[in-house]
Amino acid sequence: MPVTGRETALTPRATSALRRRPLPGDPASDATLRVDALDAAADHYLDAERVASTREAYARDWAAWEDYTRWAGIPLLSGGRGALVGFVLWLEQGAPRVGREPGAPAAPATIRRKLAGALHGLRRFGADVDPRGPAAAREALTIYRRRLAAGGERRGRGQAHAVDLRAVLAMSQACPDTRRGLRDRAMLTIGFYGATRASDQAHLLTSDVLVEQNGVVLDVRVGKTTGRSALPRRRHPLLCPRSAWLAWLRASGHTGGPAFRRIDRHDTVRDEPLSPDAVTAVIARAGERAGLPYPVTCHSLRAGFATESYRAGASLLDIATQGRWAPGSQELFRYIRTVDQWRHNAADGLDLEPG
């Protein structure tokens, strides 16, 4: 049966609601169906407008929940405390599946994300989630973290290593004098001073980078968070985002379209934009070329901007605005803590002179 545009805007919750026939002449029943349909249409609209990477992450998390409920032999939309705590334990045990051996135990951060994705899916599909369930699942996760700590175990990649200004300079200096090198330098300097994510750079258009006398204004219109940031000129030419951007623009020969494009092995600039994964690979290679002793990611640039600017005296508000962090961002506070643990240490005044 063909699917109409109206039907594609409805989630399973609305579809089941629309199958229920209102009682003849009952306006309340009729209105309830319309409210259900509007709720579902809103879900569909928000899903469609989410950044692709967010949609994909939610889809992976929901697929894990489907595997878990199939393995546990419980209904897909089980929202009770037992089901949610069981999901945490299942992931902790390597997510065994029907007919397959368990894999490696998941890291706590992975479990936290998958739990959030599963709860999002349950609520989206109208499941009855026990109000005490999420807290119980988080408590199970805390117990898992405590158990790992007691055993001296670490799982997962951990927080990205924040690069400092000298590391950014080393990566910029190591960029070859080619179109690829000019592109990579522009991505490094814009990535650092603009505190961009991989998805930000992947979706940037040339028109989103406005060149002004004092630097460039970056307009991040597609990404996890959006907004405009001013990236000032720097005295050192290899650190200046304005100089790096103009050099790449001249070398690419493009005046519109994607800001950062694929380059083939002949150093020819292609029309296709870099994907978020390709952006991540560019930044990782830049760290390897410079011989840095740790892996570099886009989050390394983002974390490095936060710590370096805070160390230089920038306020939390200005840092959050530049990097498009949400007010009260816990991620930003974790970055800042690496500076404050020495700058504002409660133990500083607790000392005695020797002798």
Using pLDDT thresholds of 50, 70 and 90, give the confidence band for residue 1. very low
Model confidence pLDDT, tens digit, residues 254-297: 989 999 999 999 999 999 999 998 999 999 999 999 999 999 99
Closest CA to 62 of 107, 20, 115, 6: 115
For 55, the enclosing helix (H) or strand (E) is helix 52-72
CA torsion sign for 310, 315, 319, 324 is positive
pLDDT at 145 over 70: yes
Alpha-carbon gap, residue 38 to 23, rounded angstroms = 20
pLDDT at 15 over 60: no
DSSP-derived letter for residue 204 is -
Listed by start position, the domains of the chain span 5-150, 165-341
Give the pLDDT mean for 96-100.
79
**Residues 186/247, Cβ–Cβ less than 8 Å:** yes
Q: What mean pLDDT is reported for the chain?
A: 87
pLDDT at 107 over 70: yes
Dmax (CA) for the chain in angstroms is: 94
Q: Which of 15-29, 112-126, 134-148 has the lowest mean pLDDT?
A: 15-29
Predicted structure pTM score:
0.68
pLDDT at 53 over 80: no
Alpha-carbon gap, residue 183 to 202, rounded angstroms = 13
pLDDT at 50 over 90: no
**Residues 208/218, Cβ–Cβ less than 8 Å:** yes
Q: Which CATH class is domain 165-341?
A: mainly alpha
User: How confident is the model at residue 51, as a pLDDT?
Assistant: 64
Residue 290 sits at the vertex; the CA angle it makes with 307 and 217, to the nearest 5 degrees, is 50
The DSSP bridge partners found for residue 205 are 258
pLDDT at 7 over 80: no
For 253, the enclosing helix (H) or strand (E) is none
User: How confident is the model at residue 45, as a pLDDT?
Assistant: 74
User: How confident is the model at residue 146, as a pLDDT?
Assistant: 92
User: How confident is the model at residue 41, as a pLDDT?
Assistant: 80
User: How confident is the model at residue 280, as a pLDDT?
Assistant: 93
Using pLDDT thresholds of 50, 70 and 90, give the confidence band for residue 18. very low
Model confidence pLDDT, tens digit, residues 291-331: 999 999 999 999 999 999 999 999 999 999 999 998 888 88
Of 239 and 2, more confident: 239
Alpha-carbon gap, residue 343 to 233, rounded angstroms = 28
DSSP-derived letter for residue 10 is -
**Residues 108/156, Cβ–Cβ less than 8 Å:** yes
Model confidence pLDDT, tens digit, residues 168-194: 999 999 999 999 999 999 999 999 999
User: How confident is the model at residue 11, as a pLDDT?
Assistant: 46
pLDDT at 99 over 70: yes
Alpha-carbon gap, residue 110 to 84, rounded angstroms = 15
